[in-house]
Amino acid sequence: MKYTRIEGKNKGKVVLYAISTCMWCKKTKRLLNELGVQYDYIDVDLLTGEEKEEAKKEVLRWRKRAVYPLLVINDLYCIKSYDEEEIKEALEG
């Protein structure tokens, strides 16, 4: 899969699975940008074929059903939906 990298402070591996038209996904991207965190993201709805299926499998690995935005930190911790306080705590703590 081809992720887009946003440069910033290295807080470990931060990956965002999003939907391009989702208001909460956009808010999550904006918050990560405001925090100045380096992260990779992928807009799952803009993918096709095998890439889309691979992204969906990755999301379902973390949640029993697909929920966006889905933020995965260091392949250990997952934040589903938009939760500003939880995101800040996970990345600034």
Q: Could you report the average pLDDT of every consecutive run of 10 residues in the chain (93 residues)?
A: 94 96 98 97 96 93 89 94 95 80
pLDDT of residue 1: 80
Say how far apart CA 85 and CA 26 lie, in whole Å: 16
pLDDT of residue 64: 83
Say how far apart CA 60 and CA 57 lie, in whole Å: 5
Cβ atoms of 51 and 43 closer than 8 Å = no
pLDDT of residue 93: 65
Domains and CATH numbers, the chain: 4-92 (3.40.30.10)
| Three-state SS sequence of 18-85 | ECCCCHHHHHHHHHHHHHCECEEEEEHHHCCHHHHHHHHHHHHHHCCCCCCCEEEECCCEEEECCCHH
Cβ atoms of 33 and 90 closer than 8 Å = no
